[in-house]
Amino acid sequence: MEKSHRLILVYLSLMFALVLAVVPLPAIVKLFRPDWPLLVLFYWALALPFRVSIGTAFVTGFLLDVLVGTVLGVNALAYSVIIYFCSAHHLKIRNFSILQQSLVTALFLAFYHYFIFWLSHFLTGVVFTMAYLWPVVTGAAVWPWIFWLLRRIRRQFKIH
């Protein structure tokens, strides 16, 4: 009972990240918006691989699809695949230093954006420009802070 009570915090953080993903921003800033839900998912998949895994990733991705209006299932698929790799290697990634983790995050984010692009290209026919990859840079830059914040939350509330 208590355990499930604490897990709600995980879902709340994901919900908050989803809200951040749709907060209206000026057009110039919007280009640099990090993929908050994916970063938060990434942390929880590393910290609690037996609680947060592909199922949670799928649902979060699906909600993002509904919120931002991409073809249903695109983000769900991308999130599931990324969190699969993340869960499969969570023991390795956990042991990296925070800088190395940032680099790995950038790698995953770049993969995510290329994946989304290819799916959207196939489904709706969009054209690629390098500006789409800005969130990779900003995502890697905010990762240490997300890591620090979520670890504090996890330790404070003893979520495992």
Partner 1 sequence: MKPIFERGPSLPIRLFFAVLCSVGLMTLDRFTDSSTQLRSYLTATVSPLYYLANLPQAMMSDASEQFMSHQRLLEQNQKLRETLLRQNTQMQRLQFLQQENDKLRSLLGSVPVAESKRLVAEVLAVYSHPFSNQIVLNKGSNDGVVAQQPLIDDLGVLGQIVSVGPTSSRALLISDTTHAISMRVERNGDHVVAEGLGQSDEVRLMHIPHSADIQQGDKLITSGLDGIFPEGYPVAEVVRITRNAQQPFLQVYARPYAQLDRIRYVLLVWPKAKPEIDEQIAPPDAEAAAVAGDF
* Footprint on this chain of partner 1 (rule: CB under 8 A): 15, 18-20, 22-24, 27, 30, 50, 53-55, 57-58, 61-63, 65-74, 76-77, 80-81, 84, 87-88, 116-117, 119-120, 123-127, 129, 131-132, 160
Structure tokens at 42: 């990434």
Q: Please list, in sequence order, all residues whose beta carbon lies within 8 angstroms of the beta carbon of residue 26, skipping any fewer than 6 positions away.
A: none
Positive or negative: CA dihedral 158, 151, 59, 63: positive
In the complex, minimum distance from the CB of residue 133 to partner 1, in angstroms, rounded to a whole number:
11
- Is residue 35 classed as helix, strand or coil in its secondary structure? coil
Report in angstroms the alpha-carbon separations of 26 from 14, 31, 83, 131, 157: 23, 9, 30, 16, 35
Q: Which residue lies nearer to partner 1 by CB, 1 or 127?
A: 127
Q: Which residue lies nearer to partner 1 by CB, 3 or 98?
A: 3
In the complex, minimum distance from the CB of residue 99 to partner 1, in angstroms, rounded to a whole number:
27
What amino acid is encoded at 45 in this protein? A
In the complex, minimum distance from the CB of residue 134 to partner 1, in angstroms, rounded to a whole number:
11
How far apart, in whole angstroms, are the C-alpha atoms of residue 55 and residue 78? 12
Q: Which residue lies nearer to partner 1 by CB, 71 or 99?
A: 71
Distance separating the N- and C-terminal Cα atoms of the chain: 13
In the complex, minimum distance from the CB of residue 34 to partner 1, in angstroms, rounded to a whole number:
13
